[in-house]
Structure 1
Amino acid sequence: MATIMITGGTGTVGKRLTEWLLSKGYSVIIVGRGGSAKESSTGKPSTSSGEPAQTKLRYAQWNIDAQTIDESAIQQADYIIHLAGAGVADKRWSDARKKEIADSRINSCALIVKALSSFPNNVKGVISASAIGWYGPDNQHNDEGNASTGLDKRGFTEAANPYPDFLGNTCKAWEDSIAPVKAFGKRLVILRTGIVLSNQGGALVEFKKPLLFKTAAILGSGKQMISWIHVDDLCNQYIYAIENEQMNGVYNAVAPHPVSNQTLTIELAKKICGSFYIPFYVPAFVLKIALGEMSIEVLKSATVSSHKIEAAGFQFQYPAISDALTQLTKTT
């Protein structure tokens, strides 16, 4: 089986993806600042052949600021999955934080490009994360849609231009920074990822917090559309991109059925609390005070199309929010 080098392998998606890859028999190299097994535990899965997964997992170091990386990780890799980047929603967006978010993505891509051009390697492809922050609000498109600008009745398609705000500009620079790998003959797949639903971190954990007190917090009007994806579907898309050589270019990593913030919140409340919960609206001005500029993204309605990746043959395990939340609340 192939060897997969993962950056950002100790994050929410990276940990789960590592488990999936090991269980399928792949070897995995997690590249990070520490480069030791104490960084993260991925559990104790077995490979498809029954071999303990830990024998197929190792860690390597890189230093993004110094633009250095363990040469052996590049030389041993058959594919690179690039997930690394500072968490967009982890802290309030000060100017310094916005620079950190952008630089962590652009500079890590630059390091991968540099390594692939500097070291002899057999890397066949690079599968890189991006985000649906590329797209603007839904009021950019009308009911008829406009194929020439990447908009249709299903929402934003991969052909849409980046929206001229912080996240749109960051995603554009992020994708441009990894694009040079194509000049080395490497197949490049970019997954513009929606809101990832997982019990181990991210948005779902935040949505659950008010439900500890039997309250369902609907943000703003609650009408804003959320283009989401179950973490296991996302992990399977990375694996699908590795295993299907016909995949090239950009794909939206979102479930086929986006939902409003209100629908997601109430559906989650029903799964966790049954009928014993109190819905309440958190006014937009409160979110703006609490979150600052980041509130724009929380309140933004972005309907994003999954048509392209479905047309490539990918089948979602959790296409509907009810199925996704049923699985996630059963495994809480």
Structure 2
Amino acid sequence: MTSPSWRFAQTATSNTLITLDVVDAPRGHTAIWAAGGGFRGAVGGAVVRSVDGGRSWRDVTPPGGELDEFRDVEAIDHNHALVLALNNEVTGEPVRIYRTVDGGANWQQVFRAADPKAFFSCMAFFDHRHGLAVGDAVGTKFPLLETVDGGRSWHPAPAGGMPDTVPGTGALATGTCLVTKGRHDAWFGTTGVGGGGRNPQVFHTRDGGRTWTVSETPLPGTATNIASLSFRNLRDGLAAGGNFDPRNNVDVGAVARTSDGGASWALGGTPAGFKNGVTWIPGHRSTAIAVGPDASDITTDDGRTWSRFDRTLLLGVNCSAQARCWAVGKDGLAARLVLPRR
């Protein structure tokens, strides 16, 4: 297969964008929502939106959000979306979730953590009403929030069905550390825990978050982290991430793959550098894209091998159901994936 390429566009911000959600909008257009801020210590939160396939962009950052770090955006359609803002050390604000129903013209704060130290990393929706959010472990349990009304309200989910984890385990706030497939299945990936001697794990629910199972990945080293997950169907999935090697001052990429819904994992090929985001390309069997600070890579064999095709710093990647794939990254850059003709 001839290598793909990115077609770049400048969005309505110069702040680094970290995550995005791409949805097929009415009249054949593609809506792209992206969010970011706080990458590598930089200040400057932003939420941007395009409803014409990336030809034009608007800055739709919630009021005061220029001081925030937005690490997840979940788009229901071209007008309805939610964004997750992390704890703000400058303003003292805790984790918050904002919701818009008018394309970002107005935002409503629909969740505000009571504990300023509480940390929630990612959100994901099963459908337009039911969704979950996951945070860093509190003691030996991962906290979950759930919504059953499209994100209008969020409440703690029962913890009784959640397996224990090692204290200090977290989930990287990349926007895709928690993903869903179908009406009831969801997965989230964790950081490795050196003190617990445990490699990164993947938690899986088959009943919308009431009960969970957990499996350990073979990603090498307890300093390795899962940054992003993607499932092509209920069985075939990828977990991408890596670690920083201080001895050689390089980012090291790592990928694990599953063909049984996450019950077991095998090592995939090694991509070029740490991977912040990974996604399957709908309609292109066995093909996925992974992006990170060092490079973009493609696999055409279910993650067994990877090939670098671009060196631009990109941090989030997502495809719509119609295989319209976009990535975002440094300085407010957006990129549309161009695949060679088959």
Could you state the TM-score of these two structures normalised by the residue count of structure 1?
Answer: 0.30
| Structure with the larger helix share | 1
| Bigger relative CO (Cα 8 Å, ≥ 6 apart) | 1
